Structure 1
Amino acid sequence: MHVISSQKLFAALTPDPADRKPLYLQLAEQLRELIESGALKGGDAVPPEREIAEFTGVSRVTVRKSLEQLVNAGLLTQRPGAGTFVTRRIQQPLSALMGFSEDMRARGYEPGSIWLGKRMAGASPDEAMAMGMAPGAPVLRLKRIRTADGEPLAIETAVISRRDLASPELVKDSFYEALKERGLLPVRALQRIRARMATTQEAELLHLVQPSAILEIERRSFLADGRILEVTFSCYRADLYDFVVELRTSAERG
């Protein structure tokens, strides 16, 4: 994170008085363009209202209303006593199959985990149905909070048959690394995503203010022979995570 203090950058946002659109909306749109173009990056601190007002020649009330527009849109985050920051959003292509740690490192973030539980158990009815096994069958259940640069992004529970991973102690920082060491990397996966409101416990673990939305994801991963390797139940912060899919027309596919 670094502070954006370039007067030239923000002076260029000066609204056009001849434009019939309200000044605060003009300023909000131009700030949005800076964020979407990458001139302002996730985690960057935005100058105080007073400075932006001086750079652009508008009132602090106008600046405040502009910032509120972008906070409500999820593009900016305001932290009491700290200031206003560009919201970090992570775009995850649904066509990519990789572990969380590998994905975060590829994006320049330092992945981390806060373990909530690592134990052998009998498969619950939901886990058994997703895994295609009998209820109560022995599984390894790994539950943790996934972080990027220390910020919580998701609560993840991974379930795998005991025959594929015999002990929770085999998993250190990366679940997928433990699978790779045993030649068990999946070749495809199916994901189901739905939006819902976070529970009180989920909001507390993910540092969310209630009410907040989360993205609930169930992913089943398959080996080359078609066998289900593992199922992961995750809750991602909707304010920080976007899932992106590329669609093609039938004509382009040929």
Structure 2
Amino acid sequence: MTDTLPETREDLGALLARSIEIDAADATPRYIRLANALRLLIETDALGTGAALPSERLLAGMTGLSRVTVRRGIELLVREGVLEQRRGSGTYVLAPVERFEQPLAAITSFTEDMLSYGRKPETRWLAREYASPSAQEAMTLGLSPGDRVLRLHRLRLADALPLAVELAIVPADLLPDLSALGTSLYESMASAGARPHKALQRMRACALPEFEARLLEAEAGEPALFLERISRTVEGRVVEFTRSHFKGDRFDFVAELNLHRET
């Protein structure tokens, strides 16, 4: 634990100024760039746990940003649990937040993953309804004209902490009774004889859309992870098309790789 800043306050100011240099091609809001620069200093231990940040006025002078921009950048990190503001004292670096590993090599449910971490999973339903599929959904699920889907839009939490917003689309004939749907979609699908056997997943970095940001208690435009999954049964039928936004500061997606040797 340390209560010191990088060598001098001037060094900190230079580091931050370089990190947020204005680039005409970069449309990222300046307060987010400041937050990213501070976060990097914290993650690399240039600012250790317990370190006190300079005042907003000093940070504004160091970086050439307005005090409003500096305040928004700090507030963003406070919401993330990276910084703590103590009334009458200042702003301090908190101990690193716990991150969750999300396996990419196996199909697991959010509920299973959180229980494995000893966390209490929770689901808040945003929508749970039968509907006509979009063109993309119909094509992905291999549906015929007139087929309907079950649209499941959920906020996923662990120990009351919002972690992900998930939209799952399932052919309606697999789960025709909403009352039989439990907290785990995969358990309900298994009971219907349609548990996913394999899946294709695509993941990319993204900026949080405004709707998902509100649900995740974040700022629109914050770094996030977008995951798209298309799951099939052992017979090859597509039974799930899911798109999820994950908080970027809470998840590490991991996969075990094997060395491919040519013979």
What TM-score comes out, normalization by structure 1 length? 0.69
Gap change, CA 1:133 and 1:111, over 3 Å in 2: same
Partner Cα separation in structure 1 for residue 185 and residue 232 of structure 2: 15
Calculate percent identity across the aligned residue pairs.
34
* Whole-Å separation in 2 of the counterparts to 1:232 and 1:111: 19
Moved more, 79-88 or 116-125: 79-88
Alignment correspondent of 1:190: 200
Shift of 1:181: 2.2
Structure 1 position 199 matched with structure 2 position 209: yes
SS at match of 1:104: helix
Map of 1:226 onto structure 2 = 236
- Quote the residue 1:116 is aligned against: 126
Q: Is the contact made by 2:130 and 2:150 (CA closer than 8 Å) also made in structure 1?
A: yes
Alignment of 1:113-192 (within 5 A): 113-134=123-144, 137-192=147-202
CA distance in 2, matches of 1:192, 1:247: 16
Residue 83 of structure 2 corresponds to: 78
Matched to 1:126, the amino acid is: Q
Q: How far is 1:235 from its partner?
A: 1.1
Residues 39-87 of structure 1, C-alpha deviations (whole Å, 9 max, x = no match): xxxxxxx5x447xxxxxxxxx86xxx9xx9xx98xx9712445962422
Cα contact 1:140–1:167 (8 A) shared by 2: no
Give 1:210 shift: 3.4
Q: Secondary structure at the match of 1:250?
A: coil
Query: 2 CA distance for matches of 1:29 and 1:157?
Result: 31
CA RMSD of aligned residues (A): 3.6
Which consecutive unaligned segments of at least 5 residues does structure 2 have?
Answer: 16-40, 60-72
Return the alpha-carbon distance in structure 2 between the equivalents of residues 170 and 130 of structure 1: 25
> What SS is found at the alignment partner of 2:235?
coil
Given residue 216 of structure 1, which amino acid in structure 2 is its aligned partner?
A: F
Structure 1: state its 5+ residue gaps: 1-9, 35-45, 51-59
* Alignment coverage as a number of residue pairs: 211
Q: Any conservation in 1 of the 2:100–2:250 contact (CA below 8 Å)?
A: yes
CA distance in structure 2 between the partners assigned to 1:121 and 1:138 by the alignment: 6
SS in 2 for 1:105: helix
Residue 108 of structure 1, CA deviation: 1.6
TM-score, structure 2 normalization:
0.67
Q: What residue is the counterpart of 2:257 in the other structure?
A: 247
Give SS of 2:196's match: coil
Task: Output the CA distance in 2 between the equivalents of 1:241 and 1:114.
Answer: 20
2:224 and 2:43 map into 1 onto residues whose CA distance is 26
Change (3 A) 1:81 1:148: farther
Secondary structure of 1:215's aligned partner? strand
Local SS of the residue matching 1:185: coil
CA distance in 1, matches of 2:43, 2:203: 30
